[in-house]
Amino acid sequence: MHTGMMWFDNDPRTSLEFKVRKASVYYKQKFGRLPDLCLVPPAMLTEGPMETLTDQGQQITVRAYRPVLPGHLWIGVEEQHS
């Protein structure tokens, strides 16, 4: 993903799943399509290096990515390489 939307939510009481879903809804409103990739700081992933969520019928892959700052999500559409 070269372009995406940065989302900030550092509320420790909110689950990662809720944060991703909330960012996904906003992304759809702003760009007219659902995201399928969300990059997060490694410390935010509790179940291993990658998780998959389903939001509004779309699967969103959640991956750890060190450059993303704590409390932030980088959400967008994964580029398809052919």
> What pLDDT is recorded for position 51?
75
Q: In what order do the strands lie in the sheet with 58-64?
A: 5-8, 72-76, 37-40, 58-64, 50-55
Structure confidence at residue 82 (pLDDT): 61
Residue with tokens 């019928």: 57
**pLDDT at residue number 79:** 84
Per-residue pLDDT of the chain (82 residues; tens, 9 = 90+): 778 999 999 999 999 999 999 999 999 999 999 999 999 999 998 766 667 777 677 889 999 999 999 999 999 998 876 6
- CA dist 41 and 71 (Å) reads 8
Q: Which helix (H) or strand (E) holds 76?
A: strand 72-76
* Helical ranges in the chain per DSSP H: 16-31
The rounded radius of gyration (Å) of the Cα atoms in the chain is: 12
Quote the pLDDT of residue 49.
62
